[in-house]
């Protein structure tokens, strides 16, 4: 018997693809091919797990949870439509080959050359990319909802910044943020210079990654509306650990930030799929909104997470008004009322917002907890989530 970690590439993606295959009608041939692909992957992993003294614990957490999810897939829930041609575009299925790498290279160039004469050339590149992808979609009959969420978000970004005044706003933001990030990074030994700032489609407030050519700081696109003071607070937070969160988060809740977010989302590219393999978040939201908010809660973006999680089952991001629910809940053995409870919990975050006191941000306030317990099956839901967390622990 061997020991050590078991590395499996593509298993998390396979679990996400399985959910996608079950969340919409699929041809019989494609379903059969997909089931065979999953069966082969599970068989290979079972052999490697059986030969390892550590068993399932030898799999990294994300791969282990994806494996457990795939083991529990009920293929009888698939909606087989024999009228669907095998070559027909399906919602959320189209990627443009090489788009991600070209986009990353473009953002690098914008970060490096925002202060020189290449900015005009880079604007032309964005316009060319926009025209090229629009032509491809028109020629091949690809609608917006045929694109994968990542492809759609990138195409939406490119389309938004193909207008000169918006591009100019991006360049100013890169110059300001890049200068301040460099200044603060020089006081840190963890992050090598130079700092390259990307404003891009993403969740969260920032991501930092050291690279051979420096440090890349990724920020949500609407942060182009930040002024120098807000970028200074963000840079201090990232590079010195000074927790100037209040200024940063307040800016993400402002009208200017919201305006950019809404403008990009309004192009129809930004939202992920609310329909899942076993549950539809749009249906869940409608129930919760009707029963607990008198139908008055504005609908946020609703999406399933890309990864199976073991403890955090939902998240509300005020920066882009998105409720993300763990795909761990998108299974036939998870009751609908449990999904409703997690959606309800995240909508309470949207309703109550955050409370600041002495520089500390609190989201689970007393008022929040009192209203949370009004959920009709609160105790049952909490118990079900505890059992689910143990399954994926």
Check residue 270 and give its pLDDT. 43
Q: Indicate whether 224 pLDDT > 60.
A: yes
Enumerate residues 6+ apart whose C-beta is below 8 A from 102.
Answer: 129
Q: Which two tokens stand for residue 234?
A: 């963000």
Check residue 243 and give its pLDDT. 66
Pair 145, 261 in one domain: yes
Query: Does any domain span residue 48?
Result: yes
The mean pLDDT of 239-264, rounded to a whole number, is 80
Rounded percentage of the chain residues whose pLDDT exceeds 70: 90
Pair 122, 54 in one domain: no
Pair 126, 259 in one domain: yes
Write the burial class of residue 215 (CB in 10 Å: 0-12 exposed, 13-18 middle, 19+ buried): buried
Check residue 345 and give its pLDDT. 94
Pair 142, 223 in one domain: yes
Q: Indicate whether 124 pLDDT > 60.
A: yes
Give me the sheet containing 322-325, strands edge to edge. 301-304, 322-325, 314-317
d(CA 113, CA 106): 10
Pair 249, 317 in one domain: no
d(CA 299, CA 312): 22
| CATH number of the structural domain spanning residue 333 | 3.30.2010.10
Check residue 310 and give its pLDDT. 80
Q: Indicate whether 252 pLDDT > 50.
A: yes
DSSP run (H or E) holding 316: strand 314-317
Where among 230, 265, 300 does a domain terminate? 265
Pair 302, 203 in one domain: no
Pair 290, 350 in one domain: yes
Pair 250, 285 in one domain: no
Query: Does any domain span residue 295?
Result: yes
Query: Does any domain span residue 20?
Result: yes
Query: Does any domain span residue 94?
Result: no
Query: Does any domain span residue 300?
Result: yes
Paired sense of beta strands 314-317 and 322-325, if any: antiparallel
At 5-29, the pLDDT tens digits run 788 788 888 888 888 778 777 778 8
At 55-105, the pLDDT tens digits run 888 888 888 888 888 888 888 878 877 665 555 566 667 888 899 999 999
Q: Indicate whether 278 pLDDT > 70.
A: yes
Query: Does any domain span residue 293?
Result: yes
Pair 260, 285 in one domain: no
Lowest-pLDDT range of 17-21, 41-45, 288-292, 367-371: 17-21
Query: Does any domain span residue 260?
Result: yes
Pair 258, 183 in one domain: yes
Q: Indicate whether 2 pLDDT > 60.
A: no
Half-sphere exposure of residue 328, counting CA atoms within 13 Å on the CB side? 25
Check residue 329 and give its pLDDT. 93
Q: Indicate whether 106 pLDDT > 70.
A: yes
Pair 249, 130 in one domain: yes
**Number of structural domains, the chain?**
3
Pair 320, 215 in one domain: no
Check residue 251 and give its pLDDT. 85
Lowest-pLDDT range of 36-40, 197-201, 248-252: 248-252
Query: Does any domain span residue 291?
Result: yes
The domain in which residue 65 lies consists of 11-77
pTM reported for the whole predicted model? 0.63
Check residue 83 and give its pLDDT. 64
The mean pLDDT of 353-370, rounded to a whole number, is 76
């Amino acid at each position: 018997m061997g020991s050590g970690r078991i590395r499996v590439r593509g298993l998390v993606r396979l679990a996400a693809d399985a959910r996608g295959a079950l969340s919409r009608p699929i041809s019989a041939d494609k379903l059969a091919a997909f089931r065979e692909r999953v069966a082969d992957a599970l068989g290979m992993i079972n052999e490697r797990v059986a030969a390892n003294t550590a068993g399932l614990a030898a799999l990294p957490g994300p791969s282990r949870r994806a494996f457990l999810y795939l083991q529990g897939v009920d293929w009888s829930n698939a909606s087989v439509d024999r009228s669907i041609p095998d070559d027909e575009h399906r919602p959320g299925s189209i990627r443009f080959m090489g788009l991600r790498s070209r986009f990353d290279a473009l953002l690098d160039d914008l970060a490096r050359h925002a202060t020189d004469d290449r900015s005009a050339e880079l604007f032309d590149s964005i316009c060319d990319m926009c025209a090229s992808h629009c032509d491809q979609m028109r020629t091949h009959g690809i609608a917006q909802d045929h694109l994968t969420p990542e492809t759609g978000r990138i195409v939406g970004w490119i389309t938004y910044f193909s207008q000169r005044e918006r591009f100019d706003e991006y360049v100013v933001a890169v110059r300001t943020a890049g200068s301040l990030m460099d200044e603060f990074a020089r006081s840190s030994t963890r992050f090598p210079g130079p700092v390259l700032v990307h404003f891009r489609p993403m969740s969260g407030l920032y991501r930092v990654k050291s690279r051979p050519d420096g440090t890349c700081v990724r920020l949500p696109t609407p942060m182009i509306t930040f002024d120098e003071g807000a970028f200074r607070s963000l840079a201090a937070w990232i590079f010195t650990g000074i927790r100037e969160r209040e200024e940063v988060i307040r800016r993400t809740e402002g009208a200017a930030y919201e305006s950019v977010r809404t403008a990009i989302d309004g192009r129809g590219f930004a939202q992920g799929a609310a329909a899942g393999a076993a549950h539809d978040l749009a249906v869940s939201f409608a129930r919760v909104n009707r029963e607990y908010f008198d139908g008055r809660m504005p609908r946020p973006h609703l999406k399933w997470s890309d990864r199976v999680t073991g403890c955090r089952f939902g998240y509300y991001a005020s920066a882009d008004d998105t409720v993300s629910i763990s795909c761990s809940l998108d299974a036939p053995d998870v009751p609908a009322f449990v999904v409703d409870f997690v959606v309800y919990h995240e909508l309470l975050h949207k309703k109550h917002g955050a409370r600041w006191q002495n520089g500390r941000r609190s989201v689970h306030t007393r008022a929040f907890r009192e209203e949370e317990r009004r959920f009709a099956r609160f105790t049952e839901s909490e118990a079900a989530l505890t059992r689910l967390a143990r399954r994926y622990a």
